[in-house]
Amino acid sequence: MKLLMFDTDGFAYKIHSKGLEHAVSDISEEEFGPGLVIFLHAEAEDELSPDRMVKKSADNIIWHAKKTGREQIVLHTFAHLSDSRADPGIAEGILLHLQERLRKKGYRAEKTPFGFFLEFTIKVRGESLAKVWKSIS
């Protein structure tokens, strides 16, 4: 699993086009205020232990949220962080379970629509912890 975590003053997206045939979304665009935006990528090897990947990813995201004082978290799948790719169904399941785990921990965790190409605007802060990369195995 790869995580690219941003501490932002704002994030907005709009669906551009469908990337997966089965993709469905009731929301075509959305805007968020200050919070963390997490670009995540599930790799093929994550299929062997998806629950472990969710736990370790949540732990890393919560660490970053505590360090930056953020309660809003937006999860965005970004299939360009590695050449290795998990099956889309498994990747979507990991995303949903990660969102659920973060919500249970008290965070306002949202996600962008899975299986779509998005236009997005992101305003990343300048501090050293505003941009954090994690490779989870």
pLDDT of residue 125: 97
pLDDT of residue 60: 98
The CATH-assigned architecture of domain 2-20+37-126 is 3-Layer(bba) Sandwich (3.50)
pLDDT of residue 79: 82
pLDDT of residue 81: 82
Q: Where are the domains of the chain?
A: 2-20+37-126
| Residue showing tokens 């805007």 | 31
pLDDT of residue 54: 97
d(CA 105, CA 136): 20
In the chain, which stretches have pLDDT less than 70?
A: none
Across 126-135, b (16+ Cβ under 10 Å) vs e yields: eeeebebebe
Nearest Cα to Cα of residue 57 among 46, 68, 48, 44:
46
Q: Tens digits of per-residue pLDDT, 51-86? A: 999 999 999 999 999 999 999 999 999 888 888 889
